[in-house]
Structures are given as C-alpha cells and as structure tokens.
Structure 1
C-alpha cells in the first residue's frame, strides 16, 4: 500500500500543540483535496472527518496508529512518531483502487397480472436476517445457512468461539468496539463506511474470517455484504453477548447436580 507525505512547518505557537496531529488528505494523482475522508486513531478510538479542503486535526500520542480511509481509495496506516507531533502538518496522498468490472446477469419473471399468482413467481429475497440500526429487534426471513462442522475437532475452530476467547483474553478490544458503537461522532463515521478495515484491525481477522464469524452468528450473506461497518460492529457485539449468555447458562446447568433415581 503506497502513500506519500510531506511536512510543512507551522508557526511556533502551533508547535506547542504536540499532541494534536494536523494534516490534509489529498488525491495522489491530481493533488485535489479529499473531503469527508475518515481518520481514526486505532489506539484511543478517536476519529474525525476531513473538511471541505481535506484538512483534519486529531489527538494522538507517540506510537499510536492512525488509519486513513476514503471510499474508493486504498487506505493506509501510519505510526505516529515524535517528529510528526512537533507542530507539523502531515500531507497524506491516497491512491484510487482499481475498478473491477463484473458480469451482470438479468433474469426476467413472467407475470400475468393476478396478484395471488404473480407474487409466487417473484424470487425470494436473498437476505435472511437484517439488523436495523437503532433498534434492538432483528427481522428474520427463513433460516440462514450455517456451516456444517462435521467433526469435534472442526467444531473447536468455530469463529464465534474465537470471538468469545478474544474478548476474554483481550478485553481492550471489546471496549474499543463498544466505544465505536456508543460515541455519536464515531457512529456517524462508521455508518458511512463499508470497507470493514476497522473491524479487521480490532478483531485481528481478514475479510474471509470476518465473513465466517458473521455467518457463524447466523447473519446472512446479503447482510454481510450490504450492511455498514456500524451495523456489522453492532452485529458482532450482539453475537458476543448472546454467545456469552449461552456459555454462562451451560456452565450454570453443568453445576447443578443430577438427581439419582
């Protein structure tokens, strides 16, 4: 992943703000400003969006990692050093992602004008579960297809078990995801993101593993592809809480002594 940055000196008064990272996000090919680009401090879970001229300010510390992303462009991660916090302005150039042209197949459905008959001819919706942002309800249509773990050994590697163990051993990761969900500014940012990069960072998963996790949590392929990053974070947290409750219930049941006849 390529990026370009240059440092321009600010005045002495600006250099006093050593914990504020200031910069501009631009297009790598034509140097035009990228407004509404997302800048997130992965360590402190603080984020901002660039203004109409591509500028941003974000509280940082040495050794923090900054994730910069923009729809249709390749994201970058930047490690913060002392030099970057000496009142300098950081210019970050993002490169466009190559366009992928996919074949589109259009199928027609013959309708005769009678509602009771025509409705049966329309293909069923692909999604089986949709999580509506802001509502606790989950709307179900049919049953999602879950992976078949045919052996006890394979069952040990269920992604939901990995999630349960991850949040148990690394509670900071859980708290970071919860913070992303709670703070208004971060919610607004993630509601418009669909690249999954923040989740992959905090869950230490690639796209395929994240997809398998959500499938294991009974979310449909349609939901996994179409939901915003905020909706996916809510889905993962809900999955964890539900799985934790099931685990706790199983442990409690195991503690109850069986009655002998």
Structure 2
C-alpha cells in the first residue's frame, strides 16, 4: 500500500511539473479521426494554421498536439472535406480529447470532348489537300487461283448462317469496345479522386499559375498513382515540391 501511494504521488508530481512547463494559455489536443463509416482515417494532416506546423495521424487515426487558445487547427485528408477547430474564449479546459468525423468530398469534373480536327469540313479539306496519298498495294495472285469478282453470300431462309455469324461478330466487337471504354472511364475516375489540383494545393499551398506549373513539373505516371497509398502520394508530392523549389532561386509562395 505504501508503494502504491508513492507511485500515485510521483505521477501527480510529474503531471504538475508538465503543466508548469507548458506555455501559459496552451491547450493539449488529442483525438481520433474517423470517416462516415466509423473507420479510422490514417495519415490525415492536422495543421496549426497560425504557426504553420502540424502532425499526421497514425494508422489508427490518432493524433496529439499542443496549441495556443486563439490558434486555428485544420484537419484535412485527400478525398475528404476539411474540418476546423477554434476555441478562442470558449475554452474551458487545457486538455481535450475529441473524435473528429470527416465527410467524403465529391469532385465534379466537366465533360470534355476532343476532336482531331476543328470540324468535319476541316477533316475533309485535310484529306483532299494531301499530296502523298498511299499507293494501292499490289495484288498477290496465287497461280491456279480465281481472282475475278465474287458474289457475297446473302442471308436467306436457305443460308442464314453467314448473316447470324456476322451479326454476332459485330455485336461482340461493340460490346468489347464498350467494356474497354467503361474500364478506362472508371480508372480515370479513381485516379482523379486520388490525385487532383485540390489535394496538391492543400499539400503544397500553391495556387493559380504556380500550382499549374508544379502539376506540369511533377507529372506522375498513372500506374504509380493507382498503386500508391495516400501516404506514399503525400511523400512523393513533398519530394517533388523540393525539386520544384530548387529549380529557381526564389521558392514559390505557400499560403
């Protein structure tokens, strides 16, 4: 019992000493960051906008930091709406433990149609103005074979096989093209949710023309974006930002 009381006394003294060393008016904030499905949100960024410092939540979504009463805290993660914390004069304690729920952010992309030529008339004019038209390939004639006109078999009640085969072949081709287009569209949607101007702007603090220049400079391969985790992407963007800043004597301004 005596040892137990000594331990309690020592812990109380350590807490008192820590409180004495903390800056006056500082607030200790710890918490867990979760998504709408109550699952931990790993590697979310918790930034003190006043001091421009911050921490990253661990794999369980837990974080801890100390800040002043009038500081503003922003919690952000790729693909989620940012959350803000500000106590000001409403702070009643110097130690808070919160559970922060992040809502998914929806990005709406405008439809874009790409044409090789300005319009159909431009395409026709380009064809007519071509100087070097490809020469017709010479015919290959096998000795003893017939090279005259041939009659294409027509579909009839007596010969429907060729008609049915051609219809199934054409349908299979269109279905394959539709599947490939759908797969490519879905992949582009996944990539745009993982890597886009909004998330790069949040990480680097760049805006407008500087952000466009950085996106051109730091061009990641689609395969890398698809197989990388959010944490890997954040590290890659920060490394690329360092190279981007070193290419000029003046570093681009951050917000």
Larger radius of gyration: 2
TM-score, length basis structure 2? 0.40
Question: Whose helix fraction is larger, Structure 1's or Structure 2's?
Answer: 2
TM-score, length basis structure 1? 0.40
